[in-house]
Amino acid sequence: DGGITQSPKYLFRKEGQNVTLSCEQNLNHDAMYWYRQDPGQGLRLIYYSQIVNDFQKGDIAEGYSVSREKKESFPLTVTSAQKNPTAFYLCASSIQVRLSYGYTFGSGTRLTVV
Amino acid sequence: GQQLNQSPQSMFIQEGEDVSMNCTSSSIFNTWLWYKQDPGEGPVLLIALYKAGELTSNGRLTAQFGITRKDSFLNISASIPSDVGIYFCAGQLTGGGNKLTFGTGTQLKVEL
């Protein structure tokens, strides 16, 4: 079955450490996205990539980094520069030329800084 | 970045009641989408709308693309406990590139 997989589901990090969240899709989608969701809040765009080896900052990119070396994979690194990293992180993908089909989302990773 | 205004922000209703929520913007959209997010999961697409005035149903859900192309609404009839979750509208702005703009979400709680 095609889909988008985020791992791990729960992640704990000590303050000052970098951590990488995995996102893999086998839908052959061109574009991939990372969103942050805080409790009771909407979705805020961190980074997005429309093609391999290219990505753009979203609305809240500070303290985060990404790479897009393969079409299937779009990992997100939460760096120690991110002041308040505890949140629910969602990865999504889409067919670039048919955005009217919307995004397919992963099931999310809940990151907690301890 | 721009977000769509959704209302109400949250709703607490009795099982069996009908629910209505809407999404508004000052900008024109050429696609409207409605998603549902279950607790601890990613959003799932419920309904997609492509033309102004379009009315589309999916089971107990009905959504409409506003005539002005600046709004959309979602109705849920005869709510059941599994309708609990956060409902997001999303749209593609005319000339907004290849990204969706998301609403602020409506949290629905259903009382038995």
Burial class (CB in 10 A: 0-12, 13-18, 19+), A11: middle
* Average per-residue pLDDT for chain A: 92
pLDDT value of position B69? 93
Looking at residue A26, its pLDDT comes to 96
The confidence score (pLDDT) of residue A114 equals 87
Q: What pLDDT does residue B80 have?
A: 93
What residue of B is the nearest CA neighbor of A31? B98
Which of B37, B49, B50 to substitute to test the interface with A, most A CBs within 10 Å? B37
Q: Using one digit for the tens of pLDDT, what is the confidence trace for B59-112?
A: 999 999 999 999 999 999 999 999 999 999 998 877 666 788 899 999 999 887
Q: Kindly report the three-state secondary structure assignment for every residue of B37-68.
A: ECCCCCCEEEEEECCCCCEEEECCEEEEECCC
pLDDT tens per residue, range A64-108: 999 999 999 999 999 998 989 999 999 999 987 666 678 999 999
Name, in order, each residue with C-beta under 8 angstroms of B18's C-beta and a sequence gap of 6 or more.
Answer: B75, B76, B77, B78, B79
C-alpha–C-alpha distance, residues B107 and B91, integer Å: 19
If you measure CA to CA, which chain A residue comes closest to B41? Answer: A107
In angstroms, rounded to a whole number, what is the distance separating the alpha carbons of residues B52 and B66? 6
Q: How far is A88 from chain B (nearest CA, A)?
A: 8
**Shortest CA distance to A107 belongs to which of A25, A16, A15?**
A25
Residues 12-71 of B with CB under 8 A from A: 31, 33, 35, 40-45, 48, 50
Q: Would the CB atoms of A42 and B103 count as touching at under 8 Å?
A: yes
Angstrom distance (rounded) from CA A26 to CA A4: 7
Closest by alpha carbon to B92, among B102, B105, B84? Answer: B102
CA distance B32 to A101: 10
